[in-house]
């Protein structure tokens, strides 16, 4: 019995935390309780993943079993949700006169959804996981419902999300119609046999690519990121991709191996759309949003490579390489993106001053620590060596080269150099503004401690990944 | 043997000492301590260093007598390991280099003594002697080197010192430009020398196929025939390009007239006695190459003759006393190459030695005149100095006589030997007539030389004084060297009397081991070329040429300036071109300097707009794409969903097609 | 020719296409939400049509139920958002919500 | 046994950067702390040079710790190690960058007034990055340090540079990054197809000629941008003009050498067949670069830009020397890397001296300085003549060997490269004349003060090795000779495999091999 | 073509007509009614397909709960405002995409139909069978998860829909939250940038474009300063 409890712990704990939190919130009217409860449940989820919740068989294991990579993804999502909670603790207080108790509940449900997707061995589980992941996020984006931008962002995110849900369900129905089963292992075995199944997978894929914010489906990302409050954006930047990639890792094998060029095309399109979109941007959150589109493209590059081998033996190798690369990328990119948004959240402290690049001018003189930390995160996003971002990019392109797609790798990596240009622009504004240029508005009030801790935690994560990639690689590999 | 390395070492130490003193005077000047007292010390150190080196050279001269090959070689240390061969700091004292050492250090010492007087009161006194000592050291290294790269050290060393000394008064931009021009033209010559060096090291391989930079090895390999003829010619020509650069021959002579910007002792030492002869020394040292390749030696001869004639014409009309001597130096060097080109190496070396003496004498005399006339250099503003400067007049007269080739003077014998060598020497380009033509050119040059030499004497010393300054006497330290050089000029005649007066040829006999390398090829061919009667005829002709030149000059310039002016106007066209130095300077300026500057500007523009343009173009196109990408996101949910729908449909279609 | 062969799937695809058409062309938030419902119903129909008469009957209806429940959840959140938008913009026309751009 | 040296060589500046970043000391306290670390670095570099055993061709003092394994499917993985080693090829460069460390600090003291702490941190990180590049024996580690060394210079130019600094520094960063990412792809290709990223193993493994060519071209692109070779050089003048003096010294002194060192170690070392195949082309471009660079320099009116263009020409000489692929050329290439570092470093130092006093760099602004500041004029003259290649100073041995190598490879190439010596004299001496000689044209030049103690110290640090190499180059060339001979045997192996590849049957191959063997000059 | 087929065809046609009505009618209320009609027809089809339980659920949940919610919201927003809802600008493109989906769908359904074996064993769906799956074993976990999804939806709706504690009339709330057209970036006119530097003190002709113009030209909703 204890095995089953342990097996479900990574997703059960956050859900339990949310429900209990809601009850206590209703009864005791003290938001602090819900917050600490969520913290405990998320921490419990992380601990349970490393405590051996992965790879166990048991009740309902044909529907839900966490493997090593899935475990890392769930733990990552829970960690990022935890950090987002810390980030938003007193971010919103000045705005909405009392801290809405529901935020911890919503924050707890997001990693639960991702855990479900990560462990899913059944298509419906993936769909439900996506829904459980998305609904709280819609609410979180629209948190400051008095702010027109937030509501607009949430509406766009929701409507396109519902549209994607329509595609996913119809895709699943086609899969069921042709294979009469939604069990992923059965479907993988039948991959490529019937066109209807392939079309169904493609539709399912479209929904997931929306969640990943890949190229043609990415237009919601800048608006949602800009509309939402910065801690929520930090959460979205780091976790939505984990959920999407967890789903993609399970759905792409259903596609016939010969379909990899489609994925590769979307990957390159995303990198280009993301990088070129951000090049002339003036508002920092939109820049980071477009950069997340580019990073989505990079991950897709690895997944496309993972798909491309015809004979089964090489296919298995490539798929494991692709999943290793993409999981590493998610954790490294997630930490860097979270860190960058964390810095912006600390600087904003609830206000809306640090919106455009102009506000960052001469930051290195006013807030040197913030400037250097932001630079570190941006370098990691750009994939410059001493940071985790470098190894992430390295492993992705390693998978592409292993799959023999040299020219696609070269194209992808040249486009990513364009990406570095706009990170440098932000860094240049912070450090290299001319002496006499008047500086952006100074942030008022002192630095909120929990937010600082969260951002520093992300920084340490990126640094450790930068200098010692072996640890995480080992964890994923096992 | 152990003291031979001291020869180049003394001047080096002297240079270092003067440099330190200069640095102290700089510091002292700021506290304006006694400069004069300092000058005496510096002058003494510098001169002593050269004298010591001269003494060791003399000792060396006697030491090598007893050596089997009259040759002593020593290696100081290894220098550059080039993978194949290792280049060492190797030096050799053999008959050729010992005489050169004697000339360099001897004349050098005298000029140093003269300079102590000439430069008195100049605030760069110590700096001057540092450079002068450094120059002598470099020249000695050049002469004593036993391999091409070590010779190249001396070669570029003297180039550096001539750059520093020409531009010594660097306050005046024109002098600085003259210095730069000298170095750049030398560098063009060095380009040829460098390639010749590599060619020799690569192609002149010994029996075992191993190349070497050593003179001995190269000469021996050329003689042994291991080198293909075209390669020998290429090396020969490239060596000659280097020699032209250094010895101011036709294409690369333009820097010498401008080099007169330097103080006069510099002109005397560098641009008359030592550095300019380095080219001839190189040709003589590598003579097996020129013997082996008819084309190379013929080119040397013809260029020599052409330069001699060309420079002499310009000498006729030069107004500046030092410019006259400069053109005469170029012309005499042309003579040397003419002789060397026809195989008369000992004759041209003999003329080299005598020329060193009397040209140095003339320059020092000119210096004395200039100093006396308070730095006035224009001949037309001088005159009647005979009475004021009697010693200078007599010594310069001796020098002029030697230069003009007045019979019984050393110049006469050495020039005659060369002309004889031309007639009896190797047929240029394979046929005899060209030798005859070259002889006629040589004779014409000799005539012009005699004319302009005595033109100088008469304009400067004869007639009535045309300037209002009253010349003051020069200090003893300047007059003693003049006298000494005059004696040397006269004594030099004894070094190489023509064979018709009996077999007393110490210089030729002394140089045999070096010039005998080729067995037949050397001067043996010349010895029995001319019969006694031909030799007498030759002597007579040379004497006649000299006397005609002397009398012509006396006639035109004897009666003072007015009459001579009239005669000059008689032929305006030629006079103008000669005065403007055949417009060569303008030609060079237009051809080289302007095109180079234009090329620089064009390269700059090309770089900024084409190469850089491409880079910025990439950035601009990226920005255009970025603007387009931003245009797509127009904020309307409908367009987002259209993209979504289109993407989904495309994806499904792609998957269906790719199954 | 029996309705339950190809025609039922035609109907499902038609419903799905109409849902997409409604979503892409209508600018009224409510109608857009209704179109999404249509697409979800199309999926239900396909599930059930595929499982007709087979042993997976119960499985298909379970999936249909799940989809209906999720549709309900989506509708609720959607309408809440529409209301919030209306309160800010006094209109449900989606072009009004186009300030975030670039 | 003494494998502690190399990690310390990289560690000292890194620790120094950390110490300076955290130390609470006030303004010049920080500076002396940084100088302490730099002095230690210089001492250790010289110590390494002396302890280096000049007879053994392969790497010494190697320090290797497993870092991580890149799984390449089917169970096995490519071991990536933190593997440092020094051998003949990198010895001189490590010594140079160690030596330049104090010079950078000393020259920075004068003109870095604001934000010293950041500057000191960045320059120390820069030095650590450079040493890392020269010492790493693992391709991935090489790439890791290669990109890390970009960041400090980005900030040094960006924050303390001139008016167009942001444009210049972004251009420098992106240009170099674009080249190096292509190298990353080639690096990955090698890792997957040959199962190792250790440079030593890759050099011994005979890679098929076609693959060699592909990888070589990818690596060559990255290094050509870094050297810079002519078509890719436009970032250098901008970077130099905008960089502060210390930035210019480190950029010209060491950063450009990473390109040539890369060509040597990775280009020729690992892909000899491709190097033999592309050698003449690259040498040709190098020779063109010499002439083009010299013409560019001649047309400049800004002193710093002139020296920047001159270093394009000098680097062309090094490339010509190296890709002559013979004993003399390789020795010349390696030595000339050091010479260029020293002479151009000194030239930039002197330009910095003038800039600190007059805050202007146009040559026309100066004139007749020899009369006002004679000591400066003397050092400037020595630096000019060293960069022209006057025998007796350090320029000559290097240039002589490069040109001899080029001549041995092909007389035409030798002649083209030798033209550089003449053009070099033209533009350098005209610059020297317009700056130091002639009358004093500007009033402000009257009151210029001569070199102070600090400036003399940094100049002396550079002058001593310049004269020493000039007089006794064998001391510096001897230790590199075994490694160069090893490289030559590698090239011969490349030639043979290339001949095998081209010659269809074995017979033609033998004839071909014999032919190419005998007359090195045949192209 | 027995009776069931005829009935199925008619119901199918009716559903299609209703769906067209939903999509094309300009009036939202009529659209909602059409949707309800289509749900009823669908439940009829489910009955014929042999899924009585599903037919009931369709009516109860879809028509009963969700459509009521829609109508409630339509009423709340005021029927008049929803009378004339314009069609989107680029509806032509939307139609094209829908048509493409129809074509692809048709192809697939033909393949699907041919593939499916025409089995006649009419094992109709029973409530027991479904509940066995949902509550005992088989699909229990997804069912629980849908529960959590519904919970999440509830919390989300509460967060979004929460009315401010300070009760104010809709009018002044609207005024207070009206969108202030001031451009998002208080982009003052770019100062005369010395030698080509843009408003941000950054170089213009390099990669950093002069985006003061770009920032000024698009206006954005400024967060209403509290």
Which of C29, C33, C53, C94 to substitute to test the interface with E, most E CBs within 10 Å? Answer: C53
CB contact set of D120 (below 8 Å; sequence gap of 6+): D17, D20, D30, D31, D34, D105, D108
- Mean pLDDT over residues A413-425, rounded? 90
- Nearest CA-CA distance, residue E224 and chain A, Å: 7
pLDDT of residue E204: 46
- Residue B561 confidence (pLDDT): 61
What does the pLDDT read at residue D123?
93
CB A216 to CB B659 under 8 A? Answer: no
Nearest-CA residue of chain E relative to B622?
A: E207
User: How many CA atoms does the CB half-sphere of B548 hold within 13 Å?
Assistant: 12
The tokens describing A225, both together, are 């990121």
pLDDT at E184: 47
**Is there a contact between D247 and D349 (Cβ–Cβ < 8 Å)?**
no
Residue A118 and residue A133: Cα distance in Å, rounded? 12
| E76: CATH | 1.20.120.1200
Judged by 3 or more CB pairs under 8 A, whether D touches C is: no
Q: What pLDDT does E188 receive?
A: 41
User: What distance in Å separates the CA atoms of residue B50 and residue B109, rounded to the nearest whole number?
Assistant: 5
Chains contacting D (3+ CB pairs below 8 angstroms): A, B, E
Evaluate whether residue D523 is within a structural domain. no
- pLDDT at residue number E165: 46
pLDDT tens readout for residues B350-397: 888 889 999 999 999 888 888 888 888 888 777 777 888 888 888 888
In whole angstroms, what is the distance from residue A404 CA to residue B139 CA?
A: 67
Q: How far apart are CA B75 and CA B5, in angstroms?
A: 9
pLDDT digits (tens, 9 = 90+) for B335-346: 999 999 888 888
Tell me how far apart the alpha carbons of residues D320 and D313 are, in angstroms, rounded to a whole number: 11
Say what the ipTM of the complex is.
0.87
Q: Other CB atoms closer than 10 Å to residue B617's CB: what's the count?
A: 10
Task: Give per-residue pLDDT as tens, C22-35.
Answer: 998 888 889 999 99
Question: What does each C-alpha distance from B330 to A355, B364, E178 come to in angstroms?
Answer: 79, 18, 97
Tell me what the pLDDT averaged over chain B comes to.
Answer: 84
In three-state secondary structure terms, A211 is helix
> What band does A342 get if pLDDT is binned at 50, 70 and 90?
very high
B623 CB neighbours in chain E (<8 A) are 207, 209
| Domain total of chain E | 1
Option in C6, C12, C58 nearest E130 (CB)? C58
**Of chain A residues 348-377, which have a CB less than 8 A from chain B?**
none
User: What's the mean pLDDT when you consider all of chain A?
Assistant: 87
**Residue B152's closest chain D neighbor by CA?**
D391
Residues from chain C that touch A154, judged by Cβ atoms under 8 A, are: 81, 84
Residue of D nearest to E195 (CA): D163
To test the contact with chain B by mutation, choose from D237, D292, D437, D451 the residue with the greatest count of B C-beta atoms within 10 A, namely: D437
Residue E212's pLDDT is 38
pLDDT at position C1: 64
Judging by DSSP bridges, how do beta strands D77-86 and D60-71 pair with one another? antiparallel
Q: Does A367 touch chain D (CB under 8 A)?
A: no
Q: Residue B259 carries which DSSP code? A: G
CA distances from B35 to B25, B41, B371 (A): 7, 10, 21
- Residue B409, pLDDT > 50, answer yes
Q: CB–CB of B649 and E97 under 8 A? A: yes
- The answer to whether position D145 is within a domain reads yes
pLDDT score of A270: 94
Q: Does A429 touch chain D (CB under 8 A)?
A: no
Q: Which pair of structure tokens corresponds to residue D418?
A: 């030798």
- In chain A, residues with a C-beta closer than 8 Å to the C-beta of D149 are none
Residue E199 confidence (pLDDT): 47
How far apart are the C-alpha atoms of D300 and D285, rounded to whole Å?
Answer: 22
Q: Do B599 and D298 touch (CB under 8 A)?
A: yes
Q: Residues D12, D13, D16, D17: is their CA dihedral positive or negative?
A: negative
pLDDT at E192: 45
Supply the pLDDT for residue B520: 46
CA distance D21 to D32: 13
The answer to whether A229 and A143 are in contact (CB under 8 A) is yes
Nearest CA among E175, D197, E49 for reference residue C51: E49
List chain E pLDDT tens, one digit each, 226 residues. 688 888 889 999 999 999 999 888 878 888 899 999 999 999 999 988 888 899 999 999 988 888 899 988 888 887 665 555 566 667 778 888 888 888 888 888 887 777 655 555 556 778 888 888 888 887 888 999 999 999 999 999 988 887 654 434 445 445 555 555 554 443 344 444 445 444 444 444 443 433 433 343 333 333 333 3
Residue D81's H or E segment, with its range, is strand D77-86
The position carrying tokens 């100062």 is: E191
Check residue E175 and give its pLDDT.
58
How many domains would you assign to chain D? 1
- Distance, in Å, from the CA atom of D51 to the CA atom of C91, rounded to the nearest integer, reads 82
Q: Check residue B419 and give its pLDDT.
A: 87
Question: What rounded mean pLDDT belongs to chain C?
Answer: 88
More confident position, B475 or A141: A141
For residue D163, give both structure tokens: 């008016």
DSSP string, B415-480: HHHHHHHHHHSPPGGG-HHHHHHHHHHHHHHHHHHHHHHHHHHHHHHSS---SSSPP-PPPHHHHH
Is a pLDDT exceeding 70 seen at residue A436? no
The whole-number pLDDT of residue B193 equals 93
Interface test with C, best of A144, A168, A173 (most C CBs within 10 A): A173
Q: Model confidence over B81-108: pLDDT tens digits?
A: 887 788 888 899 888 888 899 999 999 9
pLDDT digits (tens, 9 = 90+) for B259-304: 888 888 998 888 888 888 899 999 998 888 888 888 998 999 999 9
Other CB atoms closer than 10 Å to residue D33's CB: what's the count?
A: 16
For residue A79, the model assigns a pLDDT of: 94
- Region A46-52: what's the mean pLDDT? 85
Q: What percent of chain B has pLDDT above 90? A: 21
Of B636, B641, B642, the CB nearest to C98: B636
Any bridge partners for residue B88, and if so which?
A: B78
**CA–CA separation, A136 vs A152, rounded Å?**
16
Q: What is the mean pLDDT of residues A437-466?
A: 81
Spans of chain D, pLDDT less than 70: 1, 25, 27, 72-75, 504-523
Cβ pairs A/C, distance under 8 A: 125
pLDDT in tens, E123-137: 677 888 888 888 888
The token duo for B348 is 């041209």
> Fold for domain C6-93?
Helix Hairpins (1.10.287)
pLDDT greater than 80 at residue A187: yes
A429 Cβ under 8 Å from any chain E Cβ: yes
Domain that holds residue E5: 1-80
E207 to D174: CB separation less than 8 angstroms, yes or no: yes
A264/chain B closest Cα distance in angstroms: 12
First vs last C-alpha separation in chain E: 69
C-alpha span between C54 and D508 (Å, rounded): 74
* Nearest Cβ partner for A286 among C23, C97, C102: C102
Q: Which residue has the higher pLDDT, A469 or B444?
A: B444
Report the relative pairing of strands D60-71 and B86-93 from DSSP bridges. Answer: unpaired
**Burial annotation B512-521 (CB, 10 A radius, 16+ → b, else e):** bbbbebbeeb
> In which domain, by residue range, is D170 found?
5-518
- Choose the mutation target among B629, B646, B655 for the interface with E, i.e. most E CBs under 10 Å: B646
**DSSP assignment string, A385-413:** TTSHHHHHHHHHHHHHHHTT-HHHHHHHH
Say whether B228 sits in a helix, a strand or coil: coil
Residue B523: per-residue pLDDT: 44
Q: Which residue has the higher pLDDT, D402 or A53?
A: D402
Q: What is the pLDDT of residues D458-504, one digit of tens each?
A: 999 999 999 999 999 999 999 999 999 999 999 998 888 888 887 75
């Amino acid at each position: 019995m204890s095995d089953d409890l342990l097996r479900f712990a990574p997703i059960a704990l956050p859900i339990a935390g949310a429900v209990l939190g809601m009850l206590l919130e209703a009864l005791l009217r003290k938001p602090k309780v819900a917050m600490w409860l969520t913290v405990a449940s998320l921490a419990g989820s992380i601990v349970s993943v490393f405590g051996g919740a992965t790879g166990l068989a048991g009740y309902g294991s044909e529907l839900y079993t966490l493997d090593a990579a899935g475990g890392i993804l769930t733990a990552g999502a829970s960690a990022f949700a935890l950090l987002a909670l810390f980030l938003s603790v007193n971010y919103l207080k000045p705005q909405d006169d009392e801290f809405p108790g529901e935020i911890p509940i919503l924050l707890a449900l997001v990693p639960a959804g991702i855990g479900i997707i990560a462990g899913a061995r059944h298509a419906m589980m993936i769909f439900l996981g996506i829904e459980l992941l998305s609904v709280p996020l819609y609410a979180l984006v629209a948190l400051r419902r008095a702010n027109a931008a937030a509501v607009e962002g949430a509406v766009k995110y929701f409507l396109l999300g519902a549209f994607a849900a329509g595609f996913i369900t119809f895709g699943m129905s086609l899969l069921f119609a042709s294979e009469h089963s939604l069990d992923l292992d059965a479907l993988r075995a039948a991959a490529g046999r019937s066109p209807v199944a392939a079309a169904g997978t493609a539709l399912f894929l479209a929904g997931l690519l929306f969640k990943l914010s890949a190229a043609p489906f990415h237009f919601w990302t800048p608006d949602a990121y800009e509309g939402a409050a910065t801690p929520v954006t930090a959460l979205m930047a780091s976790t939505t991709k984990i959920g999407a990639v967890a789903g993609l890792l399970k759905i792409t094998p259903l596609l016939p191996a010969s379909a990899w060029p489609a994925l590769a095309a979307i990957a390159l399109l995303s990198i280009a759309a993301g990088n070129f979109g951000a090049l002339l941007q003036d508002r920092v959150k939109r820049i980071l949003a477009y950069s997340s589109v580019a990073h989505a493209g990079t991950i897709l590059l690895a997944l496309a490579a993972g798909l491309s081998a015809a004979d089964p033996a090489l296919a298995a190798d490539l798929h494991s390489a692709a999943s290793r690369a993409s999981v590493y990328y998610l954790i490294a990119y997630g930490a860097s993106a979270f860190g960058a948004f964390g810095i912006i959240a600390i600087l904003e402290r609830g206000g809306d001053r640090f919106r455009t690049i102009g506000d960052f001018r001469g930051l290195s003189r006013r807030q040197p620590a913030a400037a250097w930390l932001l630079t570190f995160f941006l370098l990691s996003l750009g994939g410059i060596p001493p940071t985790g971002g470098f190894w992430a990019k390295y492993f992705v392109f390693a998978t592409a080269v292993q799959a023999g797609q040299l020219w696609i790798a070269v194209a992808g990596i040249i486009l990513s150099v364009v990406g570095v240009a706009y990170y440098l622009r932000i860094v240049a504004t912070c450090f290299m503004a001319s002496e006499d240029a008047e500086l952006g508005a100074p942030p008022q009030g002192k630095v909120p401690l929990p937010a600082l801790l969260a951002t520093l935690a992300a920084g340490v994560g990126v640094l450790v990944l930068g200098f010692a990639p072996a640890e995480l690689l080992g964890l994923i590999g096992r | 043997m152990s003291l031979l390395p001291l020869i180049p070492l003394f001047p080096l130490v002297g240079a270092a000492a003067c440099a330190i003193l200069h640095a102290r005077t700089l510091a002292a000047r700021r506290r304006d301590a006694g400069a004069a007292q300092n000058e005496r010390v510096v002058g003494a150190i510098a001169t002593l260093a050269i004298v010591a080196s001269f003494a060791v050279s003399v000792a060396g001269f006697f030491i090598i007598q007893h050596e089997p090959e009259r040759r002593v070689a020593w290696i100081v240390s290894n220098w550059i390991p080039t993978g194949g061969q290792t280049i060492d700091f190797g030096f050799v004292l053999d008959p050729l280099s010992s005489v050169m050492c004697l000339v360099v250090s001897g004349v050098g010492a005298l000029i140093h003594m003269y300079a102590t007087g000439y430069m008195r009161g100049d605030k760069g006194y110590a700096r001057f002697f540092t450079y002068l000592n450094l120059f002598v050291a470099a020249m000695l290294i050049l002469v004593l080197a036993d391999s091409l790269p070590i010779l190249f050290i001396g070669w570029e060393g003297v180039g550096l010192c001539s750059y520093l000394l020409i531009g010594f008064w660097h306050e005046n931009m024109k002098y600085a430009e003259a210095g730069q021009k000298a170095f750049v033209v030398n560098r063009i010559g060095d380009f040829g020398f460098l390639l010749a060096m590599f060619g020799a090291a690569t192609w002149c391989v010994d029996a075992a196929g191993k190349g070497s930079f050593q003179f001995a090895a190269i000469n021996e390999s050329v003689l042994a025939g291991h080198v293909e003829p075209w390669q020998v010619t290429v090396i020969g020509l490239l060596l000659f390009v280097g020699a032209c650069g250094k010895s101011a021959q036709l294409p690369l002579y333009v820097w010498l007239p401008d080099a007169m910007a330097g103080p006069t002792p510099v002109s005397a030492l560098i641009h008359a006695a030592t550095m300019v002869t380095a080219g001839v020394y190189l040709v003589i040292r590598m003579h097996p190459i020129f013997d082996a390749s008819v084309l190379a030696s013929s080119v040397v001869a013809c260029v020599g003759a052409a330069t001699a004639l060309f420079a002499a014409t310009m000498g006729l009309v030069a107004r500046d006393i030092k410019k006259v001597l400069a053109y005469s130096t170029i012309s005499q060097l042309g003579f040397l190459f003419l002789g060397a080109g026809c195989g008369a190496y000992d004759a041209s070396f003999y003329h080299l030695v005598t020329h060193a003496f009397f040209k140095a004498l003339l320059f020092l005399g000119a210096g004395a005149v200039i100093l006396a006339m308070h730095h006035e250099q224009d001949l037309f503003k001088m005159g009647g100095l005979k009475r004021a400067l009697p010693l200078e007049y007599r010594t310069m007269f001796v020098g002029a006589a030697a230069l003009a080739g007045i019979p019984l003077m050393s110049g006469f014998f050495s020039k005659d030997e060369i002309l004889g060598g031309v007639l009896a020497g190797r047929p240029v380009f394979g046929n005899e007539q060209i030798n005859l033509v070259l002889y006629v050119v040589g004779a014409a040059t000799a005539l012009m030389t005699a004319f302009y030499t005595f033109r100088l004497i008469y304009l400067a010393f004869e007639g009535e004084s045309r300037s209002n300054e009253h010349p003051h006497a020069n200090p003893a330290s300047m007059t003693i060297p003049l006298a000494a050089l005059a004696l040397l000029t006269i004594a030099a005649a004894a070094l190489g009397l023509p064979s018709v007066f009996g077999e007393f040829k110490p210089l030729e006999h002394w140089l045999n081991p070096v010039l005998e390398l080729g067995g037949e090829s050397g001067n043996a061919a010349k010895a029995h070329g001319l019969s006694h009667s031909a030799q007498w005829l030759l002597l007579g002709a040379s004497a006649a040429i000299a006397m005609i030149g002397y009398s012509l000059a006396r006639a035109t310039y004897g009666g003072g300036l007015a009459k001579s002016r009239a005669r000059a106007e008689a032929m305006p066209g030629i006079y103008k071109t000669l005065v403007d130095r055949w417009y060569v300077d303008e030609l060079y300026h237009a051809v080289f300097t302007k095109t180079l500057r234009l090329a620089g500007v064009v390269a700059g523009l090309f770089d900024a707009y084409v190469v850089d343009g491409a880079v910025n173009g990439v950035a601009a196109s990226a920005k255009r794409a970025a603007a387009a990408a931003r245009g797509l996101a127009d904020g309307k949910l409908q367009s987002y969903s259209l993209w979504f729908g289109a993407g989904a449909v495309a994806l499904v279609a792609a998957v269906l097609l790719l199954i | 020719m029996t309705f339950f062969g190809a025609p039922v799937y035609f109907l499902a695809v038609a419903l799905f296409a109409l849902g997409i058409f409604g979503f892409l062309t209508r600018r009224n938030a409510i109608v857009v939400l209704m179109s999404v419902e249509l697409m979800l119903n199309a999926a239900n129909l396909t599930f059930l049509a595929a499982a007709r008469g087979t042993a997976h009957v119960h499985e298909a209806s379970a999936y249909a139920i799940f989809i209906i429940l999720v549709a309900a959840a989506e509708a609720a959140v959607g309408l809440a958002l529409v209301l919030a938008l209306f309160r800010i913009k006094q209109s449900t026309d989606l072009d009004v919500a186009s300030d975030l751009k670039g | 046994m003494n494998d502690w040296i190399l990690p310390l060589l990289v560690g000292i500046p890194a620790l120094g950067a950390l110490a300076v970043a955290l130390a609470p000391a006030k303004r010049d306290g920080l500076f002396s702390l940084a100088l302490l670390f730099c002095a230690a670095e210089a001492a250790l570099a010289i110590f390494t040079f002396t302890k280096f055993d000049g007879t053994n061709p392969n790497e010494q003092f190697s320090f290797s710790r497993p870092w991580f394994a890149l799984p390449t499917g089917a169970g096995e993985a490519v071991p990536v190690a933190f593997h440092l080693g020094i051998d003949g090829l990198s010895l001189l460069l490590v010594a140079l960058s160690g030596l330049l460390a104090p010079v950078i600090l000393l020259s920075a003291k004068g003109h870095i007034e604001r934000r010293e702490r950041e500057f000191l941190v960045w320059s120390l990180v820069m030095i650590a990055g450079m040493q890392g590049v020269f010492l790493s024996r693992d391709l991935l580690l090489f790439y890791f340090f290669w990109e890390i060394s970009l960041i400090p210079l980005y900030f040094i130019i960006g924050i303390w540079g001139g008016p167009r600094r942001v444009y210049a520094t972004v251009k420098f960063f992106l240009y170099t990054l674009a080249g190096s990412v292509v190298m990353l792809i080639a690096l990955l290709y090698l890792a997957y197809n040959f199962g190792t990223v250790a440079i030593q193993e890759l050099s011994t493994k005979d890679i098929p000629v076609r693959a060699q060519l592909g990888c070589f071209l990818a690596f060559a692109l990255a290094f050509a941008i870094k050297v810079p070779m002519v078509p890719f050089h436009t970032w250098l003048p901008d970077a130099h003009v905008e960089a502060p003096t210390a930035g210019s010294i480190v950029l010209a002194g060491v950063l450009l050498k990473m390109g040539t060192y890369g060509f040597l170690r990775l280009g020729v070392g690992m892909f000899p067949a491709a190097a033999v195949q592309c050698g003449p082309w690259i040498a040709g471009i190098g020779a063109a670069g010499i002439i083009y660079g010299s013409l560019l320099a001649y047309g400049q009116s800004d002193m710093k830009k002139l020296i920047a263009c001159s270093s394009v020409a000098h680097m062309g000489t090094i490339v010509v020397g190296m890709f002559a692929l013979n004993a003399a050329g390789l020795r010349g290439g390696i030595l000339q890397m050091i010479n260029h570092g020293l002479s151009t470093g000194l030239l930039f130092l002197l330009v910095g001296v003038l800039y600190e006093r007059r805050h202007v760099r146009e040559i026309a602004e100066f004139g007749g300085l020899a009369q006002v500041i004679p000591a400066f004029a003397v050092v400037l003259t020595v630096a000019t003549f060293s960069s022209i290649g006057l025998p007796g100073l350090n320029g000559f041995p290097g240039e002589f060997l490069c040109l001899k190598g080029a001549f041995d490879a092909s007389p035409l190439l030798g002649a083209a490269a030798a033209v550089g010596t003449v053009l070099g004299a033209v533009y350098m001496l005209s610059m020297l004349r317009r700056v130091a000689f002639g009358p004093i044209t500007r009033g402000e030049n009257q009151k210029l003060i001569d070199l102070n103690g600090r400036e003399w110290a940094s100049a002396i640090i550079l002058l001593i090795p310049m004269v020493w190499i000039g007089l006794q180059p064998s001391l510096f060339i001897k230790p590199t000779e075994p490694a160069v001979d090893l490289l030559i045997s590698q090239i011969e192996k490349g030639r043979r495999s290339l001949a095998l590849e081209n010659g269809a049957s074995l017979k033609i191959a033998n004839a071909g091999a014999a032919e190419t063997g005998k007359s090195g000059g045949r192209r | 073509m027995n009776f069931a087929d005829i009935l199925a065809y008619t119901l199918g046609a009716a559903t299609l007509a209703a769906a067209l009505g939903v999509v094309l009618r300009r009036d939202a209320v009529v659209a909602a009614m059409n949707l309800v009609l289509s749900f009823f027809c669908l439940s009829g089809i489910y009955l014929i397909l042999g899924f009585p339980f599903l037919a009931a659920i369709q009516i109860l949940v879809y028509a009963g709960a969700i459509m009521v919610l829609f109508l409630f919201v339509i009423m709340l927003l005021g029927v008049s405002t929803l009378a004339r809802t314009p069609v989107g600008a680029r509806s032509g493109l939307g139609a094209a995409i829908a048509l493409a989906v129809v074509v692809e769908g048709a192809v697939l359904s033909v393949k699907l139909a041919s593939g499916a074996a025409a089995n006649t064993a009419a094992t109709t769906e029973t409530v027991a069978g479904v509940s066995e799956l949902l509550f005992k074993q088989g699909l229990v976990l997804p069912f629980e998860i849908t529960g959590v999804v519904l919970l999440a939806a509830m919390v989300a709706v509460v967060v979004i829909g929460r009315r401010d504690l300070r009760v104010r009339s809709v009018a002044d709330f609207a005024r207070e939250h009206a969108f202030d057209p001031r451009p998002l970036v208080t982009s003052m006119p770019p100062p005369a940038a010395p030698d080509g530097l843009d408003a941000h003190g950054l170089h213009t002709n390099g990669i950093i474009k002069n985006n003061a113009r770009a920032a000024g030209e698009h206006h954005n909703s400024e967060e209403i300063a509290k």
